[in-house]
Every structure is written in C-alpha cells, then in structure tokens.
Amino acid sequence: MCGFAGFVRPAGFEPESARALGLRMGESIRQRGPDDFGVWCDELAGVVLSHRRLSIVDTSAAGHQPMVSVSGRYVIAYNGEIYNHLALRKALPGRDLPWRGHSDTETLLAGFEGWGIEQTIRRSVGMFAFAVWDRERRSLVLGRDRLGEKPLYFGVQDDGGSPVLLFGSQLNALAAHPAFAATVDREALCLLLRHGYVPSPRSIYRGLHKLPPGHLLEWPIGEKPDALSEPPSSRAYWSIRETVTQGLASRFAGSDDQALAELDALLRDAVAQQMVADVPLGAFLSGGIDSSAIVALMQAQSTQPVKTFTIGFAEEGYDEAVHAKRVARHLGTDHTELYVSAEQALAIIPRLPDIYDEPFADSSQIPTFLVSQLARQHVTVALSGDAGDELFGGYSRYAQAARIWGTLGRMPRSFRVAAGAALRALPVAGWDLLGAPLRRALPVHMRNVGDKAHKLAELFRRRDRLSFYQGLVSDWPAPDRVVSGAHEPPYLTTLAAPGSPAVGFIESMMMVDAMSYLPEDILAKVDRAAMGVSLETRVPLLDHRVVEFAWRLPLHMKCRQGAGKWILKRLLDGYVPRALVERPKSGFGVPLAAWLRGPLRDWAESLLDETRLRREGYFNPAPVRRKWQEHLAGRRNWQNPLWNVLMFQAWLEQGRGHRG
C-alpha cells in the first residue's frame, strides 16, 4: 500500500524545481507511504512521477518506485497489491527476465511489456491505482482496480498560462502543486448531501475528477503544446453491470452444497493470496458474519494464531467487542480489543478533514479510524470482511424495500399519497409513544419509530421502485433546495437504465449499491482511515473471481425467509457455531445523535450558525437550521443529514474550499 502523485506539463519545466515539486506532492501523502520515497522526471516530455512507499512485499530497495521497466519504455508509480503476481511471472510468454526482486510492481512492468497494459490488468487479481508513463507512445495511462479499493484523482489546471495535468492518490497531493486553484463544485455538494459522499467521476472540486472503478484512461501527450485541451474519455475494462449481465446469462445450476463448496474454495484461495506479506498481518473482527468468515478462513490456513482487532463502546447498542471476543475465543485467534471512551472518539473529529481529504460523512469513519489505529500498533496489514452485504444481500433494507414496495406498487398512487398523509398526521412523538413497548426488542438503529414512520410516509409518494429506493437511502431528499445556486446532477438514479440487466428489485438494489455505496462510501472510508495510520487493508470478498461467482448465484442462495447472506452463513457454520454470530445487524456505528445534543453541540452550533451559513454562501440556512433545532429539541433524529452538512463545514473551515 502506497501513495503517488505527479503532473504533466507539456510546455516543459526546470528540472530541479520540478523534482522539488514532485517531492512536495509526495510529502503531502506521506502517511500513505512512510517507508520510502522517490521522484522520476522526464524533462523533454514534461512528466514528473512521485511515490511514497509502505513496504509490504519485497521490502528491499528492489521495490523502490517510481520504477522503470527493463526496456525503459514504461515508468510506473503504483499503489496496491497484485495478489497473483508470482503466477503472472510464470505465465509471461517466453520471458526469462533477470528479476531484480520479488515485488508486484516489477511484475506489472514485465506484464506491460509482454502483454500490454490492459491485458496485464485483466489478468491481475488485486487492488490498485497507478500512473504509467509510456515513453514510446508519449502518453500517460491512469488505471484503477475493478471494485474501487484504491483512489485516483486527476484534472487539468492552469499553470501560469500553460496547462498542467495533475494526478494522485489523494486531493491534497494535487493541492500541493502551485497551479491548484479549484473551486467547490456545487453539484457535487448536492450529491454529498444526498449520499454522504461525493461519487466518481466527480470530486468536491470543479474540473478535478476521480477515475471510476474498473477504468483505464490513456492521455496522449505527444509533442503537442495543446495536448491537455481535450481530455480523453476513460474506458471500462471491467464493470459490475457487465458482471451482473453475465451472471444472469450463466446462472449457477448446481445444488446448495455444490455452490457452498465452490464458494468455500474461492474464498479460501482469495484469503490465502491476501495473507502473503513480508510484514506482520492481522484482521479486523466485529463478530458479525462477514469478518468472522474471513478470520475463520485465515485461521484455518495459518499455523499461528491470527492477530485480530476490535473496538467497543460502553454505550448500549454500540458495543460489538463482546461478540468479537466470543468468536475470537472459539477460533483461537490472538485477539486485541480496546474499549473507547466518548472523549477518545470525539478527539478524532477535528482530524477528519485531514484524514478524508474531501468532505465525507459516514459517521462510522470514526470507529473505522480507531480500529485501524489499534491494529497498526501490532501489524502493517489487516484483512477486512467488507462487501458481504452488497454481494450476498445482507442489508435489511433490501428485504424491507422489496416487501413494502411489493404492497405499495399495487396500490393507486393517489391512495398511497393519502395513506402517507395519514401517517404524517400523527407527530413523530406520537409514533414513538406507540412504539415504546417494542423499543427494547429493536436494534438501536431501528428504535426511532417516529422517524421511520414519517420517512415511510414520504416514500408512499414515490412513483416507482427506483425512486422508492433512492428515497430510502437518501439523507436529504431534495438537496438542491439546500445547496444555494445548484442543481443536483443525475447519478445512478435509474435501476432500469439502458443496458441494465433485467433483474428483480433486490438484485437491482444490490447492483446499484455495488456500483455506488460500496466503492464511494465503504471502501473510501476504510482506505482513508487505514492510510491515515499507514495500515494496508485487504478485502478478500472483493477478489473479482468471488464477485463474479456471487453474481452467478440465484437469489434464493443469498436471501431466504427475509434474511440475507444465506450461503455465507452456511459457509461460516463449518467454522463457528451460528449462535455466536446470529444477531440483528447493528452496523459499526457511534451514538452520534446523542453526541450532537451533548458534547458536540457547541462545535456543531458554530458550524451551523445562520450568519455564518449566509456569509459562506453554500447553504440555504432555513432547512439546515430547522433540522438542527428539531434535533436539539429531541423531536427528530436528524443525525445523518446534519452530519453531511457538518463534514462539509468542518472541511471548509480548514481553508480547503474556494468559492464557486
């Protein structure tokens, strides 16, 4: 795991100052790679590549980057791990190379020379983002892994009248270049308010972009001074949409037991490959289905106790440490847990704009950083159980949405609108009173009965299953009414877009989440949190062979009797008693609603001050202040929409926004 940055200035540069600038850009992401650094310049082409290294495989100088291929044609700055790179070495056609070391970076370069860039990437199993300068074609190639585990930003800026292409692992690397002068993209801000993240290909800044997962972008530079005037389009070499289409066309036709055996074999191989490292390795363990399955497969293939890590909170409903301890004891892992006080968690909040680089508003970012910080004290690599919900139908909202829309969709819309009005007629407090007898039996995230009833009332007005699901997962249902002078752009807002496979509602929701929520929220959250403490994370469930197999499985092998992850639970039954992991899903959360009314109140009030909001000019103060007052009064729980605004405000306060 590493970080890289660089720039291309076709008009040329002074080599010494360009090298110093490359070092500065790399230094801005030092936490991604504290072990080594390097800069490579091509004065004639106007290219600079900068790299920061976290040494994981081949910790010797043979893994130093930027790295030049044997022929000298390709120069790469790369972040990630290619888990099957030794197998790729053996498969290279007619190659008997004098290998300098055993790094996967060297393998990639050899593959580029033997197969070409795209074919090498198609053969690779791993996570990655890279920038490659092709000296023969005089072009820059940017690439990102299939599912979006590793980030990559790019964009053209004006450098004293000459265009310069900036690129790097994080936005702050681009911001270290003096040409950086981007302004806030208000359309991106609308998306942040709705989803809690800014999705690719946008970034929070106009003119700067994220390369989408599974894409390559080749930027011909040549010798043309205007080479950067027309940005090329990226192309997909792999996509979830195509994977779903192919899965539908070749559904798994075997029995439950045959499917289970194949999944077990695929996951065992993925876990085994991802356990290869030249540094200490462990795993996050929450005690839920996904992380327990990964740890069980690790321990089954290890001769030593696997190091596992979890954190807990004393607050009721937010402590998963007790469950993790039981699973760890059963599997015999070397387990470390840390109970975190509210004060320790709250101390992370001022650091979030630095850790996450652009506004990001999933509040589980706090415990994710804390567990990464804990793990880094013992290991350099940690495996996680992310992606089980998107692949195997684990989110409870899938079954709930399908069940509710299955009823609503048969009703005339006029009747639904009237029923929604009836639900809203009873105030939130009234619904909470009616739901009081059930409160203790419900998971924490479902105890706000009144809020749930009023959100359901709003969903009654939706026209189709697409807009119903969009409303279900939206924090602000109409963000362009909140962001001043903005119109919300379309973003995966149709489950039946041209080219979409004809799948049922549950699989449509899973597909959209795998294309959006998974890479833009879950994976971004883990990457920034872990990289904030120089920890590499790996996600075995995102081995693309596992993903492709999961989409071949019929839905009944994932969801049965209203519950998801059926086959994953069956797999785990072979390692851990069901009683240790079977419980309502609570998520990796924090008591944010209470914190905003308590220890975070003054901080939030300062950021949400009406005069301040008007002066800054990004938000219409009225809806923001209304939600804030209702939350403080305890009439509603608006923690998520408020957190989205607060994370932008905290980011803006650090001077990262330029008025636009």
Q: Which residues pair with 251 in a beta bridge?
A: none
Residue 67: other Cβ atoms inside 10 A: 22
Asked if 2 is an active-site residue, the reply is yes
pLDDT of residue 447: 56
Question: What residues contact 233, with CB distance under 8 A and at least 6 apart?
Answer: 217
pLDDT of residue 463: 76
**139-144, strands of its sheet edge to edge:** 67-68, 74-82, 126-134, 139-144, 215-220, 235-236
- Three-state secondary-structure class, residue 609: coil
pLDDT of residue 359: 97
Residue 564 sits at the vertex; the CA angle it makes with 561 and 567, to the nearest 5 degrees, is 100
Read off the DSSP letter of residue 522: I
Q: What domains can be seen in the chain, in order of their start residue? A: 2-238 (3.60.20.10), 241-393+507-581 (3.40.50.620), 591-660 (no CATH)
Segment 272-328, tens digit of pLDDT? 999 999 899 999 999 999 999 999 999 999 999 999 999 998 777 777 899 999 999
Residues of the chain with pLDDT under 50: 444-445, 494-498, 659-660
pLDDT of residue 500: 56
Q: Is the dihedral of CA 313, 318, 320, 322 positive or negative?
A: positive
And the tokens for 455?
Answer: 């959100």
Burial of 182 (0-12, 13-18, 19+ CB in 10 A): buried
pLDDT of residue 498: 45
Residue 541 sits at the vertex; the CA angle it makes with 535 and 543, to the nearest 5 degrees, is 90
Segment 175-198, tens digit of pLDDT? 999 999 989 999 999 999 999 999
Strand pairing category for 381-383 and 281-284: parallel
Q: Any idea of the CA torsion for 479, 483, 489, 492, to the nearest 10 degrees? A: -40
Q: Is the dihedral of CA 130, 135, 140, 143 positive or negative?
A: negative
pLDDT of residue 659: 43
Using CA atoms, how far residue 213 sits from 235, 247, 456, 636, in Å, is 10, 19, 33, 37
- Short-list 205, 225, 230, CA closest to 358: 205
How many H helices and E strands in the chain?
A: 30, 17
pLDDT of residue 320: 81
pLDDT of residue 448: 67
Segment 221-254, tens digit of pLDDT? 976 667 787 778 999 999 999 999 999 999 999 9
Read off the DSSP letter of residue 93: T
pTM greater than the 0.95 cutoff: no
Contact 334/308 with Cβ under 8 angstroms? yes
- Distance between CA 327 and CA 329 in Å, rounded? 5
- Three-state secondary-structure class, residue 34: strand
Segment 422-479, tens digit of pLDDT? 667 666 566 566 656 655 555 544 556 666 766 676 777 777 888 889 888 999 999 9
